[in-house]
């Protein structure tokens, strides 16, 4: 049994990871400051005797004894990471530094959740890991993009200078149950809008592309990466689904799958919004023997079912509380 620290463990991806690590017989320390995550995401794990919750902000040092660290703490949606950009930089830089200092002290392996955003608005398509990216250092996305790039730099310097066992994964757009309803990401926005028969808000013409990975596939890839031994592979490695869609195609598919009567409207495109994104997953296939198995339609149906029951609970909550009182 390993003792595993998951920072950002109460978030969307983190909560699925905690669940899977527990199911594999590990002891899990879930560390979170609830900036964008929630107790609701991990409530079902609280009774598990191998699960522990630590309310803490990674920008402050912390002393723990662990075997492995999955460093996921960081708001991921543009709306959330741009809300307090200085905090986003602190979380990425000071938070990662603290986790690397901890990993160094206890000789733990550290897996860093990096992102496709390190490629910025890419000029090479699809994006292989060797591509250095096309990132605006002074734009509204820079706090996240450059923060994550510096976090990768810190990992590599702790590896070279202090021999910390690091693993770097670059996650491409991931979706699934427990995405925060209010975080403004495209999949959750479109599903909620469709379920409420409100217009689906496409930013720009909807011709920009993304490649969407279902969370279960991603969590499998994350654990495969951590379980590689140091000499084998430290990354960075792309993890994502290589099937690419335009945002308009996504909107149309969500309307079809929900049976919604929503229309589609176009709103202004935010600054520096990447025009295209698709991972080259050759390395993940060859080295980790990993590839995503869940197609967009199947994953969307599971995500729609999650939001449907969540909206239903909210709709009937006032009536239920009144009935109880």
Which tokens hold the place of 36? 């964008």
d(C-alpha 91, C-alpha 197), whole Å: 37
Query: Of residues 160-219, which lie at the interface with ligand UDP (CB under 6 A)?
Result: 173, 184-186, 189, 201-203, 208, 210
d(C-alpha 178, C-alpha 196), whole Å: 18
- 73: partner contacted, choices ligand UDP, ligand NAD, none (Cβ within 5-8 A by kind): ligand NAD
Q: Does 212 bind ligand NAD (CB under 6 A)?
A: no
| 20/201 with CB nearer ligand UDP | 201
Residue nearest to ligand UDP as judged by C-beta position: 101
Q: How many residues belong to the chain?
A: 325
- 10: partner contacted, choices ligand NAD, ligand UDP, none (Cβ within 5-8 A by kind): ligand NAD
Q: How far is residue 279 from each of residues 70, 130, 284, measured CA to CA in Å?
A: 22, 12, 10
CA 297-299-303 angle, 5° bins: 115
Of the ranges 41-49, 102-110, 214-222, 297-305, which one interacts with ligand UDP (CB under 6 A)? 102-110
Binding mask 70-89 for ligand NAD (x = CB under 6 A): --xxxxx-------------
Among 19, 27, 57, 165, indicate the residue that binds ligand NAD (CB under 6 A): 57
> Buried b / exposed e across 165-191, counting CB within 10 Å, b at 16+?
bbbbbbbbbbbbbbbbeebbbbbbbbb
DSSP secondary structure letters along 121-171? S-SSSSBPTT---B--TTSTTHHHHHHHHHHHHHHHHHHHHH---EEEEEE
Are 82 and 138 contacting, i.e. CB atoms less than 8 angstroms apart?
Answer: no
Among 1, 63, 271, 319, indicate the residue that binds ligand UDP (CB under 6 A): 63
* Minimum separation from the CB atom of position 297 to ligand UDP (A): 18
Q: Which of 70, 144, 158, 175 is catalytic?
A: 144
Which position has the token pair 């490695």? 237
Query: Of residues 80-99, which lie at the interface with ligand UDP (CB under 6 A)?
Result: 97-98
Q: Which residues bind ligand NAD (CB under 6 A)?
A: 7-8, 10-14, 32-37, 57-59, 72-76, 91, 95, 113, 115, 171, 173-174, 180
Q: Which residues bind ligand UDP (CB under 6 A)?
A: 61-63, 77-78, 97-98, 101-102, 104-105, 173, 184-186, 189, 201-203, 208, 210, 247, 270, 273
Q: Catalytic positions, please?
A: 144
């Amino acid at each position: 049994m390993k003792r595993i620290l998951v920072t950002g463990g109460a978030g969307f991806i983190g909560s699925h990871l905690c669940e899977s690590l527990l199911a594999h017989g590990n002891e899990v320390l879930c560390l979170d400051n609830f900036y964008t995550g929630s107790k609701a995401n991990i409530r079902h794990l609280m009774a598990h005797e191998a699960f522990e919750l630590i309310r803490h902000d990674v920008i402050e040092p912390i002393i723990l004894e662990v075997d492995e660290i999955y460093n996921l703490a960081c708001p991921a949606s543009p709306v959330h990471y741009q809300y307090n950009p200085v905090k986003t930089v602190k979380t990425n830089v000071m938070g990662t530094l603290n986790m690397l200092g901890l990993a160094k002290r206890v000789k733990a392996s550290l897996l860093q959740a990096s992102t496709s955003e390190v490629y910025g608005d890419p000029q090479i398509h699809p994006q292989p890991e060797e591509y250095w990216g096309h990132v605006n250092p002074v734009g509204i996305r820079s706090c996240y993009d450059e923060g994550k790039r510096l976090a990768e730099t810190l990992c590599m310097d702790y590896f070279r200078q202090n021999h910390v066992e690091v693993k770097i994964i670059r996650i491409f757009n991931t979706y699934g149950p427990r995405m925060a309803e209010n975080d403004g990401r495209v999949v959750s926005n479109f599903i909620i809008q469709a379920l409420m028969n409100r217009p689906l808000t496409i930013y720009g013409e909807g011709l920009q592309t993304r490649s969407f990975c279902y969370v279960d596939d991603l969590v499998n890839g994350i654990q495969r990466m951590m379980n590689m031994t140091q000499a084998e592979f430290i990354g960075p490695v792309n993890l994502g689904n290589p099937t690419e869609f335009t945002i308009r195609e996504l909107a149309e598919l969500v309307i079809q799958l929900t049976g919604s009567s929503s229309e589609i409207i176009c709103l202004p495109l935010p600054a520096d919004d990447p025009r295209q994104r698709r991972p080259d997953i050759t390395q993940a296939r060859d080295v980790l023997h990993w590839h995503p198995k869940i197609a967009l339609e199947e994953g969307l149906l599971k995500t729609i079912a999650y939001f449907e029951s969540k909206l239903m609970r909210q709709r009937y909550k006032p009536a239920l509380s009144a009935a109880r009182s």
